[in-house]
Amino acid sequence: MTPRYELHCHLDGSVRPGTVADLARSQGITLDGPVERLVTAPACGSLAKFLTYIDVPLQVLQTPDALSRAARELVEDWQADGVVYGEVRFAPQLHGRHGMSQDEAVEAVAEGLAAGRAATGVRTGLLLCCLRHQTPEESLSIAETALRHRDKVAGLDLAGDERLHPGAPHRAAFDLAHAADLPCTVHAGEAAGPESMWEAIDVLGARRIGHGVRCAADVALLDRLRHDRIALEMCPISNVLTGAVPSLDGHPATRLLAAGLPVTISTDARTTAGTTLAREFEGWTAEQEELAQAHAAAAAFGN
C-alpha cells in the first residue's frame, strides 16, 4: 500500500465517539446530544449543518488532558489507516470555556501528538485555525499564538463558511504569518465559488486551499493552481455531505488530478464524516492514489 499523507483533518471532528462518552462521564458533563450525534446524517446537505456536529465533542474538549488524549488517539487512528504523516488543525480559541488559554490548548495538543508519534512512528504537523466569523483581532491573536509556538506549529489556517464571511478582513493575521515564514492554507471553494479561492491566493497568500472543489469551471484559476503548485486539500465524502458536490461520482478530484493539478485527499473530520483515508480512496486506481500521495508529501507543511 502506498504510504498515506493526510493534510486536512480537524481535531474536534475526529474524536472517537467512545472517547467523547468517556470524557463526559469523567468530567460529569451531560452531553447536548447522544454520542451517535457525532456522525453526520447522510442527508446533511450544507456546511452550516455539518458544523453543528462538532458541538458535542467541543463540550468535552475543554481541558488539557482531554485535548492531549484526542490528539494522541488521532495519531493512533492515522497509523491504523496507513498514514505515515498527518496534519491536524484546531482552533484553540474554542477551548477556553473553563479558562484554558490558547497557549495551554496548543501545548496540550502538541503533547498528545508527541505521545502518538512516540508510540506509532507517525510524523505529525499542527495547524492553528482562524475562524471567518470571528473578528480580525481574534484572528491576529491566533497568528500570534502560532508564532509563540513556532517550534510546534507548522501552519495557519482560515476556516468557516466563506459564503457568509469573506477572508480579506483577516489579512493582518496572514501577513504576520508570512513575515515569519509560517505557511498558510485557507478553506475556500467549498461553500462559495472560485472568487473565494482567488481571494485565498491573492489576498491571504495561501499555499494550499482547503477543499477547492468549485474551481473546475474557472480556466484561469486552474492555470494558476497548476503553475504555482497550490495544493488542493480535497475531502470527497465531506464535500458530498456538505453539498459542495452533488455526489462522489461528480467529485472533480480525479479529473483535476489527471489535468495536472496538485490534488490531495483527506478526511476533513474523521468522526463527523464517518470516514477514513482508506474509504476516501475506494474506487481509485493504485496509480491515482500514488500520484495524490506524492502531491500531499510535497505540499506538507511539517516535512
Query: Of 10, 170, 14, which Cα lies nearest the Cα of 90?
Result: 10
Place of cell 500570534: 144
Query: Of 209, 207, 261, 202, which Cα lies nearest the Cα of 235?
Result: 209
147 CA to centre of own chain: 19
- Could you tell me the strand order of the sheet in which 123-131 lies? 4-6, 83-90, 123-131, 155-159, 184-188, 208-211, 231-234, 263-265
Give the number of other Cβ atoms within 10 Å of residue 94's Cβ. Answer: 17
Catalytic, 190? Answer yes
Q: Which of 87, 107, 190, 199 is catalytic?
A: 190
Angle at 121 between CA 64 and CA 60, to 5 degrees: 20
State the Cα–Cα distance between residues 215 and 217, nearest whole angstrom: 6
- Active site residues per annotation: 190
